[in-house]
Amino acid sequence: MRVDVVTIFPGYLQPLSLSLLGRARADGLLDLRVHDLREHTHDRHRTVDDTPYGGGAGMLMRPEPWGEALDAVLADPPPGAHPQGPVLLVPSPAGEVFRQAGAVELAAEPWLVFACGRYEGIDARVVQHYADRVRVREVSLGDYVLNGGEVAVLVVVEAVARLLPGVVGNAASIEEESHAAAHDGLLEAPAYTKPPTWRGLDVPAVLSSGHHGLVARWRRDEALRRTARRRPDIVAGLDVAACDGADLRVL
């Protein structure tokens, strides 16, 4: 997968060289390129921002550097790019919330481009213009405000890249974790390792029973209880047809 990121803070993306993602890049599974927006300014102060029309607090990013930078990225497609070009992701607290299902969709794409806004965001004509040329998605991490899109890029790239074949060693671990469709999007049950007793706390006996059916039922019950308590929104969206009688006794 090819990923291009345009930002005024290239250094913010350095964590993408660490750990599993660093390995994925070294192995050629992820071709990540970070571009400095200021390379596409032409004044002495390399200005990227200006005051908003209509007044209001803060500064907005001017469209011209964005047009130049994104045109340059789009002019250099990877081999095997989608006929409609990349998906252009614009992190914004005003975007659609990014979820695991969105990560699964993006993991099927050969090319993602991220445009990181700072200040109060990017002049709205940038999204308007590129929406006629590529598939644009404004994405939010959740209901709180960050200073810019860079941290969202770290989150989205990690969530997507770990779904690419070969990035995470054990493919089964991806199917079993919280929010996985294979478990109806439920939160994961609590998990335990050795020792069997620690500071007076025992591992639940069923997990040492060797009875796979009972272990699976216990995990399903714990996942349902935990999800109902912490995330009633997920339980409200559950497909009742996907629940058996034992599920419904827990809920």
Q: Which residues fall in the annotated binding site for S-adenosyl-L-methionine?
A: 117, 141-146
Q: Which residue has the tokens 């095997």?
A: 80
C-alpha dihedral, 31 to 153 to 8 to 87, nearest 10°? 70
Nearer to ligand 6GU, 157 or 186 (CB): 157
Nearer to ligand 6GU, 4 or 150 (CB): 150
Give the residue closest to ligand 6GU by C-beta. 91
* Contact status, residue 61 vs residue 109, Cβ threshold 8 Å: no
24 binds ligand 6GU (CB under 6 A): no
DSSP SS3 for 147:
coil
144 binds ligand 6GU (CB under 6 A): yes
Handedness of CA 37, 39, 40, 43 (dihedral sign): positive
- CA separation for the pair 159, 101 (Å, rounded): 10
Binding piece for ligand 6GU, criterion CB under 6 A, among 74-82, 89-97, 103-111, 129-137: 89-97
- CA separation for the pair 36, 128 (Å, rounded): 22
153 binds ligand 6GU (CB under 6 A): no
Nearer to ligand 6GU, 91 or 186 (CB): 91
59 binds ligand 6GU (CB under 6 A): no
142 binds ligand 6GU (CB under 6 A): yes
The dihedrals phi and psi of 131, each to the nearest 5 degrees, come to -65, -20
C-alpha angle with apex 180: 159 to 215, nearest 5 degrees?
Answer: 130
227 binds ligand 6GU (CB under 6 A): no
149 binds ligand 6GU (CB under 6 A): yes
Helices vs. strands in the chain: H and E counts, helices first: 9, 9
185 binds ligand 6GU (CB under 6 A): no
145 binds ligand 6GU (CB under 6 A): yes
Binding region for ligand 6GU (CB under 6 A): 91-93, 95, 139-142, 144-146, 148-149, 152
